[in-house]
Structure 1
Amino acid sequence: MKSNVRLLRKQRKYSAEFKKQIVRDFESGQYSVPQLSKLHGVANQVIYRWIYKFSTFNEKGFRVVEMKDSSQKKMKELEARIKDLEAAVGRKQIQVDYYEKMIELAKTELDIDIKKNYNTPRSTGSGRTKEK
């Protein structure tokens, strides 16, 4: 006669320090939840529960959302674009400074006023010409 063998569900108890260490690893950005799950053999849902419980950044009512690879790739592309634009702005600022210095030198050394002076009368060259 076969006895009824009940399958025992394995339950593991983790220390609070272990749980907090997992949360610190996640918060540092060193590991994602799936990576921690594979590394320690703990289910994703359990790790998310620990994050909600022990996280210093988590507030009640907010949900933890991890960026997937495509989001991370897009963020890197946008950061590279920002870097390129900042470099272009820097080059343009150098050009502006150079032109202002040249205008200043033209005025002081050559006595040429390049900047528009609003007090001077309009030139007659832009008016209508008489027909012959």
Structure 2
Amino acid sequence: MKANIKLISKHRKFSEDFKKSIVNEFESGKFSVLQLQRMYNISRASLYKWIYTYSSSNERGQRIVEMKDSSTQKLKALEQKIKDLERAVGQKQIMIDYLEKMIDIANEELNIDIKKNSNTPQSNGSAPTRKK
């Protein structure tokens, strides 16, 4: 005997505050409709409906034109920033490796312990100077 199984509806309801926040993100220029669609998994039709409903500047009957070049330029700028940051991290790592090698050389060849060890005895200070 088969059980009577009902399918769960995949229809989602969004609060008015959420819709307004999405429209504000679009109007501020932070995200395009395509980016918002991907981020929140919302249909493009719903996004445009919300924009026309909650936007202060866009009205139904007016076409919203997004420049693909601007989003492409933003993406390229972000990729360049990532490359610059990775380069800076790489340079810092090289400097750290260099300084650690110099400390090792100073310790091995010159018998100078630059690294602080917790088990080294404290010095008694310098000897008092004598007057001549």
Q: Which TM bucket (shorter chain)?
A: 0.3 to 0.5
The structure with the largest alpha-carbon Rg is 1
Q: TM-score, normalised by structure 2?
A: 0.47
